[in-house]
Amino acid sequence: MNAFKNNIYSYLGVVGQYLIPIYQRTYSCEKEQCARIWSDIVNLYQCKGEGHFVGSIVRIDELSAAGYQRSMIIDGQQRLTTFTLLLTALRDYASIHNDCGVNPDKITNTLLLNQYETGYDKYKLLLTQSDKDILIKKIERIPITENLKSRVLDNYNFFAGQIAKLEISPANLYDTIGKLQIVDIVLDRQYDDPQSIFESLNSTGMDLKDSDLIRNYMLMGLNASAQINVYNNIWRPTELLFNYEHQNELMNNFYRDYLTMKIGRIPIKNEIYKEFKTYRANCGMSINDLCQDIYKFAKYYADIYFCRSDDSEVLKSLYEDMKTIRMDVSYPFILKVYDDYNKGLITVEDLQEILRLCVSYIIRRAVCNIPTNSLNKTFAIIKGHICNDDYLNSVKVFFIMLDSYKEFPNDERFISSFLERDIYTMKRCRYVLGQLENWDNKSVVSAESLTIEHIIPQNQHLSADWKAMLGEDWSEIQKKYLHTIGNLTLTSYNSEMSDSSFEEKLDMDGGFKQSALRINKYVIMQSKWSKKQIIERAEQLGEIAKKIWSYPMLSEDKIAPYRKIDDTAPQYSINSYDQLNAYNTILFEKLNTRIFSLSTFVKREFRKYHVAYKADTVFVSLVIQSKGIRVFINMNYNMVIDPKGITRNVTEVGHLGTGDVEIFFDSLSDIDDVMIIIEQAFQLQDVDL
């Protein structure tokens, strides 16, 4: 590897060509980045600076013939393309404004084209795929189809607009561009590994996304002809499944969900590429087959994300529900189910019912205000519980048997919360009201075009009419029921209704009596509105809610085969431990109470040698000893914050508990210090305190 200081003009001024390999991402520099580059140039001119470093460009040179050099750009195509677009825009401005002090032909023949070459060889920079044709057309001044979406066009137009403002004169702009400096890095084909260079650049903070690294890793492992075939027929079609504006973000999310589905656990966000390489090494698929598999699941993912379905309008509607309630945590599981549907393992009706169950699970938990931060793990592991011979029932059983903070709330708990919950402040409030309106309704109403109306107004200073209607407890009634489902509805006349009396809301132009919404049917039948009516309406809506977001009902005989009961397993209790005595019993009871106080989700298991406490996983375990209790904390010793120095690293020491951090607890006066360490381990669990 050799590195040289260079500037933009000398870099582009060589007789030769810079090629972007087919495995590289397309040009993706955004307007904000171009704006920063423009600002840097203007500041450099105004400050009369001698130079400005704009980054490095990494290349591998190919053998040149007759002085013509070809270089493969390994990193830096974004900045090289951006400066080429800036120079093209400056050239085009100078072509129209002959007296601006810039020679357009000089730019064309020294920085954009190799004057004496023909065909593709004459272009200094040759991009990949559609980017290539668009850049060539801009350089050659060939008209481009209107409404074509391209970063190349967007950024050319940005620079053309900035130049036309004359914030800096064209002549000064040309001179200042010449002061932009780069580090020109040339790799040695024999000794330098391009993929390792990519990974190194990524680790030092260069703008390489996981999707970029994965594409490079996959395609660089193929020979040139195979690269072209796989890219054109599989990889590029995969990228085109994702929309123009958010392609990188969506593809990164897809790869994380794809890996979660495949390996049954969630990769850490900044280790997706590392996890992908491990999966690739162990999956047993060729690069071509793995690319095909990625393409297949990317099509599923795009259908779900963009709410498309050629099979069923019901599926499309369910995907829209999933998008509305932001149910992307379920995507790894849904990808698996969608694939099984395409394999013929389940019917479209089964697929629809499973999606409904997933939606119900999310909504019921939201209404019951159950913490959401374990949902991704729950959906990641469902596939391991599916029985192909009893597919739908096995999914239902999985949901039914979830407990504690992962539970699928049953009808009793759901309705209890639904009637009293503050629905208005839920992010999904409009969705909930819209679903209640559209239940069993052939004429579907778009809730997005309507506003949420409080029947009893939100204004704390209610009118005399409202106070009289609500009675002497009007303030308590308003406070308790204002945001509950019984007092909420949908309307197109929210501003007109405002703080009007109930009679006015009924009879006014656009009022409830003129509303065609089914959700208002109960309301228009009332002559007054108070606590009684709110409760009655809430109960009616609750009955509908149970049907919309239904619980996975199965008979016990269907569930029984899935219950894992081992009658032969030994049963332990606190009295199972030989060294238990009066003193350590007191220590245990006090510590046990404090651990349980962390959360209602904490569970205790008496095991053969220790007592384990778990939420998502075991976070602390206690080993009863004659003179005290050995407390084992399940976390990395280097992560522990231990102001009193009471912990010991037992990573390399044999012990009976779960965890690599040990505390010996033998005095009640130390219990607060012990709990400080235990709480740190609990904070790492996927539940809220």
User: Which of 529, 534, 533 shows the shortest CA–CA distance to 468?
Assistant: 529
For 309-322, write each residue's pLDDT tens digit. Answer: 887 889 999 999 99
Domain coordinates of the chain in residue numbers? 2-206, 217-415, 421-548, 574-683
- The C-alpha atoms of residue 217 and residue 455 are separated, in whole angstroms, by 59
- The C-alpha atoms of residue 429 and residue 657 are separated, in whole angstroms, by 46
> 178: pLDDT confidence band, cut at 50, 70 and 90?
very high
In the predicted structure, residue 566 carries a pLDDT above the cut 60: no
Please say whether the dihedral angle defined by the alpha carbons of residues 374, 380, 384 and 385, taken in this order, is positive or negative: positive
- The C-alpha atoms of residue 54 and residue 225 are separated, in whole angstroms, by 34
Compute the mean pLDDT over every residue in the chain, rounded to the nearest whole number: 88
Average pLDDT over residues 335-345: 96
How large a percentage of the chain has pLDDT more than 90? 57
- Per-residue tokens: 275: 């996890």
Q: Hey, what amino acid is at 454?
A: H
* E strand spans, 149-257: 180-186
In the predicted structure, residue 190 carries a pLDDT above the cut 60: no
Q: Hey, what amino acid is at 257?
A: D
Per the model's pLDDT, the better-predicted residue between 381 and 82 turns out to be: 82
Average pLDDT over residues 118-146: 89
pLDDT at residue 663, as a whole number:
95
- Per-residue tokens: 566: 């081992």
In the predicted structure, residue 455 carries a pLDDT above the cut 70: yes
User: Contact, 484 vs 534, CB < 8 A?
Assistant: yes
> 625: pLDDT confidence band, cut at 50, 70 and 90?
very high
pLDDT at residue 660, as a whole number:
87
pLDDT at residue 200, as a whole number:
54
Give kind and range of the element (H or E) at residue 649: strand 648-649
Q: In what order do the strands lie in the sheet with 52-61?
A: 2-7, 180-186, 52-61, 69-75, 16-19, 125-126
Of 66-75, 233-242, 267-276, 318-327, give the lowest mean pLDDT range. Answer: 66-75
pLDDT at residue 305, as a whole number:
93
> 205: pLDDT confidence band, cut at 50, 70 and 90?
very low
pLDDT at residue 567, as a whole number:
56
In the predicted structure, residue 244 carries a pLDDT above the cut 80: no
**Chain-centre distance for alpha carbon 54:** 31
> N- to C-terminal Cα distance for the chain?
53
Average pLDDT over residues 397-413: 91
SS3 of residue 456 by DSSP: coil
DSSP string, 330-369: GHHHHHHHHHHHHTTSS-HHHHHHHHHHHHHHHHHHHHTT
- The C-alpha atoms of residue 287 and residue 155 are separated, in whole angstroms, by 35
Average pLDDT over residues 409-433: 95
Of 7-21, 118-132, 190-204, 231-245, give the lowest mean pLDDT range. Answer: 190-204
> 196: pLDDT confidence band, cut at 50, 70 and 90?
low
Average pLDDT over residues 513-530: 91
pTM, rounded to two decimals: 0.70
Average pLDDT over residues 119-126: 92
CA angle 270, 201, 264 (to 5 degrees): 25
pLDDT at residue 203, as a whole number:
42
Most confident range, picked from 47-51, 134-138, 444-448, 507-511: 134-138
User: 574-683 architecture in CATH?
Assistant: Alpha-Beta Complex (3.90)
Ramachandran area for residue 406 (φ above 0: left; ψ -120 to 50: alpha; else beta):
alpha
Average pLDDT over residues 43-69: 82
pLDDT at residue 686, as a whole number:
61
How large a percentage of the chain has pLDDT more than 70? 94
Q: CA of 349: how far to CAs of 204, 336, 344, in Å?
A: 49, 16, 12
SS3 of residue 116 by DSSP: coil
Per the model's pLDDT, the better-predicted residue between 146 and 378 turns out to be: 378
For 462-516, write each residue's pLDDT tens digit. Answer: 999 999 999 999 999 999 999 999 999 998 877 778 888 999 999 888 788 888 8
Average pLDDT over residues 200-205: 46
Q: Hey, what amino acid is at 689?
A: L
CA angle 379, 384, 389 (to 5 degrees): 115
Of 15-24, 119-128, 483-492, 551-560, give the lowest mean pLDDT range. Answer: 15-24
Please say whether the dihedral angle defined by the alpha carbons of residues 336, 342, 347 and 353, taken in this order, is positive or negative: positive
- The C-alpha atoms of residue 678 and residue 211 are separated, in whole angstroms, by 39
In the predicted structure, residue 336 carries a pLDDT above the cut 90: yes
Average pLDDT over residues 552-556: 93
pLDDT at residue 624, as a whole number:
93
Give kind and range of the element (H or E) at residue 25: none
